[in-house]
Structure 1
Amino acid sequence: MQLTQALHRAAQLYPERTATVFRERRRTYRESAERVARLAGGLHNLGITKGERVSVLAVNSDHYQEAMLACWWLGAVLNPVNTRWSAAEIAYSLDDCGATLLVVDDQHLPLLPGILAGVERRPMLLHAGMAQTPSGALCMERLLASAEPIADSRSGGDDLAVIMYTGGTTGRPKGVMLSHAALLITVLLRLAEQAPLAKLVGLNVAPMFHIAGLAVAYARVVSGDTNVYIPGFEPVELLETLCREQVNETLLVPTMLQALLVHPRFAEFDLGCLRHILYGASPISSALLDKAMAQLPQADFMQVYGLTENTGLVSFNPPANHGAEARAAGLHRSVGRPVCGQWVKVVDSQGEQVPRRAIGELLVSGPTVMQGYWNKPEETAKVLKDGWLCTGDAAYMDEDGHLFIVDRVKDMIISGGENVYSAEVENVLATHPAVALCAVIGIPHDTWGEAVHAAVVLKPGAEVGAAELQAHCRAQIAGYKCPKSVEFREAMPLSAAGKILKRDLREPHWVGR
């Protein structure tokens, strides 16, 4: 269970196969393995030893992959830093995990003064980029050139591989501790569900500080395939890269997929090369999935459901569940069946397992569950109970074992004593042709306790009133579930992973309540 074995294998079996592409820069697996061994040697010369934390503040690139693998080669612990955080939030995470070294790219050099002013313990700095290396930092390319390659430490098993901070949507971010075995098993279980394409070329646009982005990129090292990187989600660069590199697989979060499909230049690009589209990280509406499948008919759609605390994999919804017959049965709205190796159960508030189709909280157990939250034993104890991870997702399982996520437990609305699952209402709203994005929350109501409230972003040029949207909902779901009020917004508050921040939507309504 050693994460670096995949790189050794790829360099041995496919030395001249392209390992990474970043714009004009291309490297083979032979070159990649040599650079990783040298970078690990350079980190060793800086005094980085097994178990020390190396933080990476960077956009997606081949340098990110090299830093990730060099950490594991050396036996150090990778800490991917959320690039959307403020300098103060980044400083908190560096202090919290005790980072010895911070790798920073060109795009994030302007944040350095604020980060360094906010940390209690200043880490060493390693600059990975083409700009001038700032004073007080080392240049990654110079470090590589001057270092001798070192032997792989062969760290693995229960050794800590990654500390990945949660988005911090509810209080201070928590560092999720993931082992070498957890990440490798996650990837192997995922590949067992859906074999990789022959000569796979995968585009990485989901951020590497998110478990989905990191795991998918590492999976391509395991299969000896090509990782194409772009710095972030920009529709035109994404479309151009898909065509130029003949990409046949990518992972998109629903907000990215939506923005791509409505982009005015989408129809200019021939995407016949794209065969696999994975989606996940947040719920997808049936309307968006319908549109995506209609505009990309050559692609197989598949969903990966998981959470950072479970290394990103609980269940897998395969292409077969997106076909016409399965869609008629509603299986495209499920997150699939639990993957081999994962134990799941749905329980009530007393922790007792509920019957099939009854809604409760989804619990997970298995080899991919985190070791805990870094230095937060009390927070860990709240979610790890008797060997089970409490996901916080309200779900049910049908008679054939398909899981359906109906809401976050904390997002459930109780109006007049009735439970309203926001995801159900959002799915109905999203089918209206004028709606681009929507989110449903509970807001205070003197009589019912909570009232259903919808926040809506309209498609460009679309016009619709609250009354029409409410009528649209009443035609499909019970009256008590329909929004009692509608708020039209220019944009939604989004987390770094592309999830709508319902906390930010609720806050103005609950001030002082």
Structure 2
Amino acid sequence: MRTFSDQADRVARFAGALREFGVVDGERVGILSHNSDKYLEALLSVPWANGVVNPVNYRWSPAEIIYSLKESETEILLVDDTFAPVVSELRQGYEGLRVVVYMGDGPPPLEDAVGYEDLIAKTAPLADSVRGGDALAGLFYTGGTTGFPKGVMLSHANILISAFGSQASCPFVVPSGRTLHVAPMFHLADLAMWVAQLMLGGAHVVLPNFDPPAVMAAIDEHRVTNVVLVPSMVQMLVDHPELARFDLSSVRYIVYGAEPITEVLLRRAMSAFPQADFVQCYGMTELAPMATMLSGEDHRQGTRLRSAGRVVAHAEVRVVDQEGNEVPPGTIGEIVVRGGHVMLGYWHKPEATASALWDGWMHTGDGGYMDDDGYLFVADRIKDVIISGGENVYAAEVENAVAKHPAVAACAVVGVPDDRWGERVHAIVVVKPGAQKPTEEQIREHCKGLIAGYKSPRSVEFVDVLPISGTGKIDKRQLSEPYWADSPRNR
């Protein structure tokens, strides 16, 4: 446990060490590590030294990590015990990696590495560089689910505008509360929670990664008030057989997002945490990350649980057609956003930046619609729309129907090639433990009672577990790739 005073001293000392390593205006500093107190300190130390943080997705392969380090010209890398063994391979693939800082507690297990704690012990504190405003704060690489990762450039103003505007629009952290960090710290969702709790004061409880028993024990022991989870994490918590053994009554806010959640799962989670406000956040890395929020009150009313909520105070959101014209309420189009939280652009990718940021708006690539009361409903990624027999089918709608089958624990829907229909709706299903496995026809007929027949799955497969991407989402690319590998329309 550390006080704010303790942390401030350590941050200033590590910033001094970074300055001695040559961190000047805008030098990138990478962090390849599971969640830790040192990670949070580094997020403060890098801008304190006038640098730019590059949180590395630790779920990537070494080749992908090397690519991101090369592209961002990151020459200083912080690693923990888990990732120290890959440093040799990273050095072989990227000769520009000149400084490696070992974030463990003991002596560095690597040649040519320096110890984080040693640096703090021997380095004098550095005066804050007061980096802020429109200066680049960090490079946050996209998860890669729609192509090769791109470095999203976010300024300090981007991040703070999003945090202030979101908390003002829909409170999601408790002043002087306690935030539990279990989502990866390289992800903007966790960073947003961290910044909001810093603004309002309070404590940070850190777990290296998501583990249901450890999460429940931490909430119980430390009286956690706020936590951010992706739907797959929510599902693992509410399904855990020991859920009732822990006192989870301290939780005031459960923030979720990153992928659609089914109504069935959401209602189960709300029953498991009756004292908590559930807050859904829709956004993306490029928006630092908030665009809309569905409040706790909206959840309690229960009439718009499939909505992503209303626009936050710092943003403008529209739904437009292919020409950029706003469409009427209830009409599906592309979701576009503008405001002071929108990214500066993609690192070294002017063409990608121009295609995303045009006519003054960030084009999200997400399909959705607004209702008459200004609530946004997200349908699906536009380029992942399943076009079957000339009809557009949005996977989120089908997933919501499949999940209502009493034997279904989790599901994902993708488009796969079909000789007759071009693409067919294909469901991948995880059956609840102890439940009788339904047949493909039973899943199909169940869905036809909830959605149009052409939207119902034409094929179903059953798996033990759904793959998770580097950002904690269900990896639909991995699920669909085997079907498209030999197709002339291979995407």
Specify the TM-score bucket, using the shorter chain as the normaliser.
over 0.9
Q: Aligned partners of 1:260 and 1:283: how far apart in 2?
A: 17
Give the unaligned 5+ runs of structure 1.
Answer: 1-25
Give the aligned partner of residue 241 of structure 2: 264
Of 219, 222, 231, the match for 1:242:
219
Could you tell me which amino acid in structure 1 is paired with residue 213 of structure 2?
V
Q: Aligned partners of 2:475 and 2:179: how far apart in 1?
A: 29
Give the aligned partner of residue 423 of structure 1: 396
Give the aligned partner of residue 17 of structure 1: none
The answer to whether the 8 Å contact 1:48/1:100 transfers is no
Residue 335 in structure 1 maps to residue 308 in structure 2: yes
Q: Aligned partners of 1:246 and 1:218: how far apart in 2?
A: 20
Of 98, 115, 132, the match for 1:123:
98
Q: In the TM superposition, what whole-angstrom CA distance separates every residue of 1:247-276 from its partner, at most 9, and x where no partner exists?
A: 111111100010111112212111111121
The answer to whether the 8 Å contact 1:282/1:498 transfers is no
Residue 29 in structure 1 maps to residue 32 in structure 2: no
Residue 306 in structure 1 maps to residue 280 in structure 2: no
4+ runs deviating over 4 angstroms: none
1:181-196 equivalences in 2 (<5 Å): 181-195=157-171, 196=173
Structure 1 residue 197: deviation in Å?
A: 2.2
Q: In the TM superposition, what whole-angstrom CA distance separates every residue of 1:208-255 from its partner, at most 9, and x where no partner exists?
A: 111101121122111111111000001111111111101111111100
Give the aligned partner of residue 206 of structure 2: 229
Q: Aligned partners of 1:193 and 1:381: how far apart in 2?
A: 30
3-state SS of paired residue (1:314): strand
3-state SS of paired residue (2:337): strand
Give the aligned partner of residue 255 of structure 1: 232
The RMSD of aligned alpha carbons is 1.2
Residue 220 in structure 1 maps to residue 197 in structure 2: yes
The answer to whether the 8 Å contact 1:335/1:404 transfers is yes
3-state SS of paired residue (1:375): coil
Residue 40 in structure 1 maps to residue 15 in structure 2: yes
Q: Aligned partners of 1:151 and 1:122: how far apart in 2?
A: 26
Q: Aligned partners of 2:480 and 2:328: how far apart in 1?
A: 33
3-state SS of paired residue (1:99): coil
Residue 316 in structure 1 maps to residue 293 in structure 2: yes
Give the aligned partner of residue 72 of structure 2: 97
Q: Aligned partners of 2:335 and 2:148: how far apart in 1?
A: 24
Could you tell me which amino acid in structure 2 is paired with residue 344 of structure 1?
V
Could you tell me which amino acid in structure 1 is paired with residue 479 of structure 2?
L
Structure 1 residue 198: deviation in Å?
A: 4.1
Q: Aligned partners of 2:293 and 2:455: how far apart in 1?
A: 29
Residue 71 in structure 1 maps to residue 46 in structure 2: yes
3-state SS of paired residue (1:395): strand
Could you tell me which amino acid in structure 2 is paired with residue 30 of structure 1?
S
Give the aligned partner of residue 378 of structure 2: 405
Of 488, 503, 510, the match for 2:462:
488
3-state SS of paired residue (1:443): strand
1:467-482 equivalences in 2 (<5 Å): 467-482=441-456
Matched residues, percent identical? 49
Q: Aligned partners of 1:489 and 1:115: how far apart in 2?
A: 35
Q: In the TM superposition, what whole-angstrom CA distance separates every residue of 1:189-209 from its partner, at most 9, and x where no partner exists?
A: 111123442430110111111
Of 55, 68, 72, the match for 1:80:
55
The answer to whether the 8 Å contact 1:106/1:130 transfers is no
Q: Aligned partners of 1:351 and 1:322: how far apart in 2?
A: 32
1:157-196 equivalences in 2 (<5 Å): 157-195=133-171, 196=173
Residue 199 in structure 1 maps to residue 173 in structure 2: no
The answer to whether the 8 Å contact 2:105/2:117 transfers is no
Q: Aligned partners of 1:43 and 1:280: how far apart in 2?
A: 35
Give the aligned partner of residue 129 of structure 2: 153
- What's the TM-score once normalised by structure 1's chain length? 0.92
Of 338, 348, 368, the match for 2:321:
348
Q: Aligned partners of 1:450 and 1:36: how far apart in 2?
A: 54
Residue 290 in structure 1 maps to residue 267 in structure 2: yes
Could you tell me which amino acid in structure 1 is paired with residue 283 of structure 2?
G
Could you tell me which amino acid in structure 1 is paired with residue 454 of structure 2?
Y
Q: Aligned partners of 1:459 and 1:120: how far apart in 2?
A: 49
Residue 444 in structure 1 maps to residue 412 in structure 2: no
The answer to whether the 8 Å contact 1:453/1:485 transfers is yes
- What's the TM-score once normalised by structure 2's chain length? 0.97
Could you tell me which amino acid in structure 2 is paired with residue 426 of structure 1?
E
1:135-154 equivalences in 2 (<5 Å): 135-154=111-130
